[in-house]
């Protein structure tokens, strides 16, 4: 079967799957009245479109297996509207030709002293990370760089995931290719260091759905973390150069603090401005992500910073 025929089959499977899940839906549970005139089971197409924030015509085309693309935010919206289980959500992403999101799980809680250090480092960006780049806590300065982190699903509050799955990332990181390669090598090293942690293989399986990650993964590079300079093209702050390093927690070797310092005076001034803006819209000294569960995909990240 050639590529065109294979995609046609996949679109047909996607349309059939969406229709089956829609017809299995409960109108009352979804907020719609049962109604005496309902002649078909489950939810109507217009109701799913309304719940997912889509046009009825576009959703209808999707069920009809028209040749249209489904973006990651739309797939998330459809999964929520249809009330899909984690397994069904993964199947939806696969049929839509998207990398399957990592499984949702409760993240570890940031070590209290590291969380305090994150707070104290404002206006310099800082966050607490797991070996897999899961962000456990961050301060307002870092939140201003990455954007919408607390509103992401728990499994997607991850720097590796954001770097490889958001197309805008390459435009924000001046040295995207070099940084992505280094992170991939460090990720491979972490898999060897923590073979008993299921989060690593789970994240790997999800990332292998991204062609850019697969290409770098095939190089079998293993690298260690090294302090470096990160050069950003931030959509609001403009050009921003930051020097960063990582500090390990003696109490828990699976948590570390990643801290950034401005590389020059203009960068320092921009960071102060960014934190001021965050505080003006209800920011807090540090964001404890274990206490602020995601509410869907939220806004897209602005400029991922390792």
Which of the pair, 38 or 225, is modelled with greater confidence? 225
pLDDT of 298 higher than 50: no
At residue 259, the pLDDT reads: 95
Which of the pair, 120 or 150, is modelled with greater confidence? 120
Task: Answer left, alpha or beta for residue 234, where phi above 0 means left and psi between -120 and 50 means alpha.
Answer: beta
pLDDT of 267 higher than 90: no
Q: How confident is the model at residue 296 (pLDDT cuts 50, 70, 90)?
A: very low
Instruction: List the structure tokens of 40.
Output: 């078909």
- Cβ burial 31-47 (10 Å sphere, 16+ → b, else e): ebeeeeeeeeebbbbeb
- Of 101-110, 178-187, 293-302, least confident by mean pLDDT is 293-302
Kind of pairing, strands 238-249 and 135-139?
A: unpaired
Q: Compute the chain's Rg from CA coordinates.
A: 21
SS3 303: coil
Q: Which domains does the chain possess?
A: 3-95 (1.10.260.40), 112-288 (3.30.450.180)
Mean pLDDT score, 180-201:
92
- Of 40-54, 149-163, 278-292, least confident by mean pLDDT is 278-292
Alpha-carbon gap, residue 92 to 101, rounded angstroms: 11
Contact criterion met (CB below 8 Å) for 204 and 195:
no
pLDDT of 184 higher than 90: yes
- Total-model pTM: 0.63
What is the percentage of the chain residues whose pLDDT exceeds 70? 84
SS3 277: helix
Could you report the per-residue pLDDT of 80-125, keeping only the tens digit for each?
999 988 888 889 998 998 888 776 666 678 888 888 999 899 889 9
Which of the pair, 41 or 19, is modelled with greater confidence? 19
At residue 2, the pLDDT reads: 54
Task: Write phi, then psi, for 237 (nearest 5 degrees).
Answer: -80, -20
At residue 297, the pLDDT reads: 32
Which DSSP string corresponds to 164-226? HH-TTHHHHBTTHHHHHHHHHHHHHHHHHH-TT-THHHHHHHHHTTSHHHHHHHTTT------
Which of the pair, 36 or 153, is modelled with greater confidence? 153
Provide the terminal-to-terminal Cα distance of the chain, rounded to the nearest Å: 41
Could you report the per-residue pLDDT of 194-235, keeping only the tens digit for each?
888 889 998 998 899 889 999 999 999 999 999 999 998 887
Q: How confident is the model at residue 294 (pLDDT cuts 50, 70, 90)?
A: very low
Contact criterion met (CB below 8 Å) for 156 and 102:
yes
Alpha-carbon gap, residue 270 to 291, rounded angstroms: 28
SS3 139: strand
Q: How confident is the model at residue 302 (pLDDT cuts 50, 70, 90)?
A: very low
At residue 169, the pLDDT reads: 61
Cis omega before residue 233 (within 30°)?
no
Name the strand (E) or helix (H) holding 294. none
Q: How confident is the model at residue 280 (pLDDT cuts 50, 70, 90)?
A: low
Task: State the burial class of residue 144 (Cβ atoms within 10 Å of its Cβ: 0-12, 13-18, 19+).
Answer: buried
pLDDT of 285 higher than 90: no
Task: Write phi, then psi, for 8 (nearest 5 degrees).
Answer: -65, -40
């Amino acid at each position: 079967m050639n590529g065109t025929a294979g995609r046609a089959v996949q679109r047909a499977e996607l349309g059939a799957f969406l229709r089956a899940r829609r017809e299995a839906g409960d109108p009352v549970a979804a907020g719609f009245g049962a109604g005496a005139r309902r002649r078909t089971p489950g939810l109507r197409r217009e109701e799913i479109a309304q719940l997912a924030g889509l046009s009825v015509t576009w959703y209808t085309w999707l069920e009809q297996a028209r040749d249209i693309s489904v973006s990651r935010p739309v797939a998330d919206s459809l999964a929520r509207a249809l009330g899909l289980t984690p397994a069904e959500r993964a199947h939806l992403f696969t049929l839509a030709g998207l990398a399957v999101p990592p499984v949702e799980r409760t993240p570890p809680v940031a070590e209290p002293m590291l969380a305090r250090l994150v707070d104290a480092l404002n206006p310099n960006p800082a966050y607490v990370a797991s070996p897999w780049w899961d962000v456990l806590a961050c301060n307002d300065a870092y939140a201003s760089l990455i954007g919408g982190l607390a509103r992401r699903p728990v499994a997607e509050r991850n720097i590796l995931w954001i770097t490889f799955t958001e197309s805008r990332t390459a435009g924000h990181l001046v040295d995207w290719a070099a940084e992505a390669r280094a992170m991939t090598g460090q990720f491979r090293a972490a898999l060897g260091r923590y073979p008993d942690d299921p989060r690593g293989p789970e994240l790997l399986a999800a990332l292998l759905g991204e062609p850019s990650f697969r290409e770098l993964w095939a190089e079998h590079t293993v690298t260690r973390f090294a302090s470096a300079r990160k050069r950003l093209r931030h959509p609001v702050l403009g050009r921003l150069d930051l020097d960063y390093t990582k500090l390990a927690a003696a109490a828990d070797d699976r948590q570390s603090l990643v801290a950034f310092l401005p590389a020059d005076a203009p960068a320092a001034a921009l960071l102060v401005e960014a934190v001021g803006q965050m505080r003006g819209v209800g920011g807090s000294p540090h964001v404890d992500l274990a206490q602020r569960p995601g509410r869907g995909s939220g806004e897209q990240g602005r400029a991922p910073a390792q």
